[in-house]
Amino acid sequence: MANFHAVTGDGSIPATVRRIGVADLKNALAKGFDDFVAMPSHVVFLSLIYPIVGLFLALVIFQNDVIHLLFPLTAGFAFIGPVAAAGLYEMSRRRELGLDTSWTHAFDVLRSASIGAISALALLLVVIFLCWLAVAHGLYHFVGMGAPISPTHFINDVLTTSPGHRLIAFGGAIGVLFGVIVMTISVVSIPMLLDRDVGAPVAVATSIRAVIANPATMALWGLVVAAGLIIGSLPFFVGLAIVMPVLGHATWHLYRRVVE
């Protein structure tokens, strides 16, 4: 029963979802940046994980002749980002409450009463991530792209051939669909699990309600996150050391604006 409660929490606790606008997104980003400035040493320590993982993935791809999965892997990293940023949510939560905050507190997530629910949601996001990679791999061959000889050859084929143009069009559309699914179920669910004893089903349901209540604003937030991750990935993923913590902290404050 204890393990079951760790996943489901107290389902009787209601959550009121507010309507938000562009000003709320700006507020969340401003507070996220303020958290980053206030806790730079801690955040940089944590965020080193992201560029290191990104470079490792790129190395694996080039060594195993699956260059065509480099972009899907980079883009799909955002699908598991909400779980990877849980430590940042915890740091923002503690700072908001006026509690002592050091880099060690990011790992308090592992001792959270909601770790079972967070783990269940993490597993769901990993499954979605793997499905995205499988679809991207299948689409590459479906549109008629040949085996890439080198990164330069691959980029040239994508940009100058009809199969490459189809890959961009279909891949982009499918990627947006996956992104919408992930954002809808996770935009406030993991912060909520750290904040309340509600369990994964209630947290995911609240996240879905938040997106339904604020479709345009949440779509804009998704674009902000996507643009930030693209910009952060350009200089060999090193920019993620700044982009990821700012977006992570900002997501906590967005949750606070959306869920009463």
pLDDT digits (tens, 9 = 90+) for 225-259: 988 888 877 766 677 778 888 999 999 999 999 99
Q: How far apart, in whole angstroms, are the C-alpha atoms of residue 158 and residue 66?
A: 14
Confidence of residue 43 (pLDDT cuts 50, 70, 90): low
Q: How confident is the model at residue 51, as a pLDDT?
A: 66
Comparing CA positions, the residue from 29, 19, 24, 135 lying closest to residue 72 is: 135
- Share of residues in the chain with pLDDT > 70 (%): 84
One-letter amino acid of 143: V
Q: How far apart, in whole angstroms, are the C-alpha atoms of residue 183 and residue 110?
A: 23
One-letter amino acid of 35: D
Residues linked to residue 17 through DSSP beta bridges, in sequence order: 259
Q: How confident is the model at residue 1, as a pLDDT?
A: 44
Tokens of 176: 């947006």
Burial of residue 230, with CB atoms counted within 10 A of its CB: 0-12 exposed, 13-18 middle, 19 or more buried: middle
Who's near 28: CB < 8 A, 6+ residues apart? Answer: 250, 251, 253, 254, 257
pLDDT tens digits for 102-160?
777 777 888 888 889 999 999 999 999 999 999 998 999 888 887 777 778 888 888 88
Q: Are 72 and 174 in contact (CB under 8 A)?
A: no
Instruction: Write down the residue that tokens 């997104």 correspond to.
Output: 25
Average pLDDT over residues 60-64: 64
pTM: 0.85
